[in-house]
Amino acid sequence: MAKPRTKFVCSVCGYETGKWLGKCPSCGEFASFTEEIREEKTRFGGVVSSAEASEMRPRILSEISASDSERTDTGIGELDRVLSGGLVRGSFTLVGGDPGIGKSTLLIQMCRHIGEKNKKILYVSGEESAAQVKLRAERLGIRSDSLYIMSETSLSIIEDCIKELKPELVIIDSIQTMYSDSITSAPGSVSQVRESGNRLLGLSKKNGITVITVGHVTKDGQLAGPRVLEHMVDTVLYFEGDKNFSGRILRCVKNRFGSTNEIGIFDMTSRGLAEIKNPSEHLLKGRPVGVSGTAVTCSVEGSRPLLLEVQALASRNGYAVPRRITAGTDFNRVNMLIAVLEKRAKMPMSSFDVYVNLTGGIRISEPSLDASIVAAIASSYKNVPIASSMVIIGEVGLAGELRAVTMCEKRISECSKLGFKNIVIPTANINDIPQNTEVDIKAVDNINKLLALALRPH
């Protein structure tokens, strides 16, 4: 017999307690507990079929078929790159991102290629009607008899439909709109999201169905709902970008079937998301030449080297407190680099406003950008342009030293491929210079030598 039980759940972290608390002992939030009533269903005995007993029996590693890990390519090269080769059969993937960033567009574009393989796809939308989903699919040129659209939020109805249709791929958009009848709280609450995640996970693993669900994010950029949702899924992808720019980055933060060091880069167009095959060339498009305050650097995202333009503007300030504004990089690290410039390079930056920007709407916090940021700020301060053929790479320490960076050889190869002739690297990376390179590589060990090299007449 079902037992009704009252409990209080933290809406931030999902902590449960039998009584209301003013402060959550898990996450420290105040007034975050909401009352929920749930029927606990108990099971006494029961008959287990021979097929279920066979699945529950422990098996030796050699007995498990390799087909259990079959991968399906999505037809989108950048997405396959992030997923380390494609979607794994029976996997559960969570895709998060800001509203309007392109999550639904990416997933429905993926259906085109998978549908061409005559694999059944069930697209469940809890936020749009079936007609709205069809309009988007037609705009993207997707017409497939293997794609089934369903507008529903009841988890029980969705489960029945999955059992009847037996699709190879199920897309849930989004998990915050799903609800279970056994829980009295509203859709999107911690308990509803956790219950929906558990039931979808069970369907995925038991039937070998690949499930992809969209997750909302909070104002801090974190996935909404309980943290346990990210732990239970196999893969977590974040879709990043600025609505004012067309560039988008798909970043993998968890992957049980491959590397988490890969990113995919897209361009949002009127025909959907287009893959960017050469991101370095795309990010440097329209770069000014002969202007002070700009420097080119090479960052590595995952295993992919990216050439970026760092822009800085140092403007004299008439007020007591100078302004520091950054876009695309870490604000506190830029403040630290400004302090290093003032102390080690004797530049009185306290009387200047400093603005630092990474062009293209991309956000990167890798320390190898430090040397280029320092050079760009100094270039703007002295109004001396840096040579357009120069790339500056290196991490800057508090003593003003340039420290080694990882994968330096790969960075040099990327710079050479795009036609850059001069590269400045830390002295600690001098052994990473590839043999028979035609690029002029200078190794420096502190910011004073770096600035003397970068700001010399050319």
pLDDT (tens digit, 9 = 90+) per residue, 116-163? 888 899 999 998 999 999 999 988 888 888 999 999 999 999 999 999
CATH numeric code, 68-276: 3.40.50.300
Instruction: Please count the CA atoms within 13 angstroms of the CA of 189 that sit on its side-chain side.
Output: 20
pTM across the whole model: 0.78
CATH numeric code, 281-454: 3.30.230.10
Q: Is the dihedral of CA 404, 409, 415, 416 positive or negative?
A: positive
Q: How far apart are CA 90 and CA 169, in angstroms?
A: 9
- Using the predicted structure, report yes or no on whether residue 288 has a pLDDT greater than 50: yes
Instruction: Provide the phi-psi class of 51: left if phi over 0, else alpha when psi is between -120 and 50, else beta.
Output: alpha
Give per-residue pLDDT as tens, 349-398.
Answer: 988 999 999 988 788 889 999 999 999 999 999 999 999 999 999 999 99
173-177, 307-311, 454-458 — most confident range? 307-311
Element holding 144 (H helix, E strand):
none
Question: Which residue is it, tokens 């760009």?
Answer: 376
